[in-house]
Amino acid sequence: MNLNNSFEQTVAEHPQDIALHYKGGDVTYARLHEAVKRMAGGLNQLGVVLGDRVAICLPNVPHYPIAYYAALKLGAVVVPINTMHKGREVSWLLEDSEARVLVIWSALLDGISRQISNLTSLKHIVVLGETNYPNAISMTKMISRSNPTTDIADIDDIDPAVVQYTSGVTGTPKGAILTHGNIYSNITACRELMRMTSDDIIVSALPFFHSMGQTLQMHLAFLTGAGLQLHPNFEPDVVFQTFAERSASVFIGVPSMYRLLLDYDKKIDESIENTLRLCICGGGAISEEVLKGFEKDFKTYI
């Protein structure tokens, strides 16, 4: 089953609910779905077909899930690229994955343009923002001008959805294949364990290029009809204010995020009332001091 099938079921059930809470304006599920269909139409016009690799190098902005689900809709395979990678690293990942299309933030393209200019497998560069890069395609124009694609590629659970590269700390990064079945099974289990509903709002401060950011934020929300509160960067004061506004119910982070939030809370010496019902920590071991301190000060559960 294509992950777009579960996404479209959510759209049908919650068309006017807010899918993405963003400083540039909230996005309903219906509007997000329309953008995904149009982006898929644009990628289709570029010749993207079943099995092609589409690399995405964007921060946590609405265009990330648009590009992601548009690629999956066509049966293409997403290659998430770390936005902090340098030109040499990005070039290697694009070459190794044989990515046909790169969707990238304009500010990031300027720094890697020389290294990726001679990649033979890379046929198209779709850019979010202004750029002078030769033959680059505007992502916003692609979405606004392309005819929507309504069909969803008919694929099996064992077909690849994502090539998720490891960090490469101990050697060359390895591209781990995640299938549609892998991801769907994971988010189904997480939904039940976390008791997620369409009333939840998830603070999305983990980058979508990370598997935890994709699964426990983007996919989990889109399977349940929950909202995503997008944070392009993790800024403790901004996230803290989000908690104080009582607008979020779930926070997902790594140990360093919890430590920074706890330090910020103690620095300003401000007690807050929040609506966090659950926090998830992963990616490393969290100290007992930070865990108990965070739960006490933020009156929630990790």
Confidence of residue 278 (pLDDT cuts 50, 70, 90): very high
pTM for this predicted structure:
0.95
pLDDT in tens, 131-141: 988 899 999 99
What the block records as the tokens of 186 is: 């994971």
pLDDT in tens, 226-266: 999 999 999 999 999 999 888 899 999 999 999 999 999 88
Residue 117 has pLDDT above 90, yes or no: no
